[in-house]
Chain A
């Protein structure tokens, strides 16, 4: 059963909404995703505020023996995330045009770029090839700088991991015709948020730290 003006697709709930005076044609799912993203932004905000307070109250932030962060390498990882945001939003564009094959390909590229970012973060932390920050002396719990660094970049890394899983789930469902463009739009919002947050993590931890 559906309300007047709301189109219902079998098994997938309402997909077309009557225009709302305040929120236009934004679906309940989209507004819900935005509310979730804003609340998630508060989590990152809390971590970055804690970082700022600890940094401001510490006489020696960068302790002798601790390595400097690799800004150029992380700038490359930032570029990967920017590329993934573009491919992700182009996937949504293709989904809106009903081009299923292109949507799936672009989502696959997005997931691959997300995996590359995670591998890069693994390299930075553990040194998959050569030395990592941990082996060079930046150890969690040994200093406020180390603990806040791993807590914040780790929390962001978990979001990237969750985003990659989310992409693979939606990509698979979309390829089989089980979800529509609206689901790709919600995914697009989440993935771009991961990039949105990284911009502040990169600026505060790497460039200003």
Chain B
């Protein structure tokens, strides 16, 4: 049997910064933005007359925008301290750099 409602006790949940800033309208707005960006992605992927490089840059930029929305609003990173944000963001910057260097190297060897 699930209790109807329990009051928040001082020791049940901690009054952290993220909890204070919990805003359902903000979450729904982020969801709508994500759905719209997904529709834009589909349009960009199917739009004729766009070069492969321009399409790739646009799609990667859209993916980064969507991932940022999820991290900032759904994963509450927006309301965390700068140090925690950097703890997450700085290591995540490494794989794209490795990827760009290694893929560029492969393309260079391919056309050499």
Q: Which residues of A contact B (CB under 8 A)?
A: 7-9, 15-17, 22-27, 31, 34-35, 37-38, 41-42, 45-46, 48-49, 52-53, 56-57, 71-72, 75, 78-79, 82-83, 85-86, 88-90, 93, 95-101, 104, 175, 177, 180-182, 188-189, 192-193, 195-196, 199-200, 202-204, 207-208
Check if A23 sits within 8 Å of B31, measured CB to CB. Answer: no
Check if B16 sits within 8 Å of A207, measured CB to CB. Answer: no
Residues 59-79 of B, flagged 1 when their CB comes within 8 A of A and 0 if not, give: 110110011001101110000
- In the assembled complex, 19 residue pairs joining A and B whose CB atoms fall closer than 8 Å, in A order, are A15-B14, A24-B80, A25-B17, A26-B81, A31-B84, A31-B87, A38-B87, A38-B92, A41-B95, A45-B98, A49-B98, A89-B73, A90-B27, A96-B8, A96-B19, A98-B5, A101-B5, A192-B74, A192-B75
9 smallest A-B Cβ distances: which pairs? A45-B95, A25-B16, A7-B11, A203-B63, A16-B14, A22-B83, A207-B45, A49-B99, A24-B81
Chain B residues with Cβ below 8 Å from A15 are: 11-14
Give the total number of A-B pairs whose CB atoms are below 8 A apart.
178
Chain B residues with Cβ below 8 Å from A97 are: 8
Check if B95 sits within 8 Å of A42, measured CB to CB. Answer: yes
Task: Say yes or no: is B50 at the interface (Cβ < 8 Å to chain A).
Answer: no
| Least distance between B92 CB and chain A CB atoms (Å) | 6
Task: Say yes or no: is B15 at the interface (Cβ < 8 Å to chain A).
Answer: yes
Check if B67 sits within 8 Å of A200, measured CB to CB. Answer: yes
Check if B27 sits within 8 Å of A23, measured CB to CB. Answer: no
The secondary structure that dominates the B interface is helix
Q: Which of A16, A34, A95, A195 contacts B87 (CB 8 A)?
A: A34
Chain B interface category by residue count: 35 or more
Assembled-state Cα–Cα distance A202/B38 (Å): 10
Q: Which of A56, A78, A79, A182 contacts B103 (CB 8 A)?
A: A56
Assembled-state Cα–Cα distance A199/B80 (Å): 23
Task: Say yes or no: is B107 at the interface (Cβ < 8 Å to chain A).
Answer: yes
Check if A98 sits within 8 Å of B8, measured CB to CB. Answer: yes
Assembled-state Cα–Cα distance A27/B13 (Å): 11
Check if B59 sits within 8 Å of A208, measured CB to CB. Answer: yes
Chain A residues with Cβ below 8 Å from B13 are: 15-16, 95-96, 98, 180-182
Chain B residues with Cβ below 8 Å from A42 are: 91, 95
Closest to B8 in A: A98
Check if A49 sits within 8 Å of B102, measured CB to CB. Answer: yes
Q: Provided the pairs A26-B84, A196-B71 are in contact, do residues A203 and B62 lie with their beta carbons within 8 angstroms? A: yes
Check if A24 sits within 8 Å of B3, measured CB to CB. Answer: no
| Least distance between B17 CB and chain A CB atoms (Å) | 6
Chain B residues with Cβ below 8 Å from A204 are: 63
Check if A52 sits within 8 Å of B14, measured CB to CB. Answer: no
Chain B residues with Cβ below 8 Å from A86 are: 27-28, 31, 74
Chain B residues with Cβ below 8 Å from A35 are: 87
Closest to B96 in A: A45
Most buried by B among A82, A85, A181, A200: A82
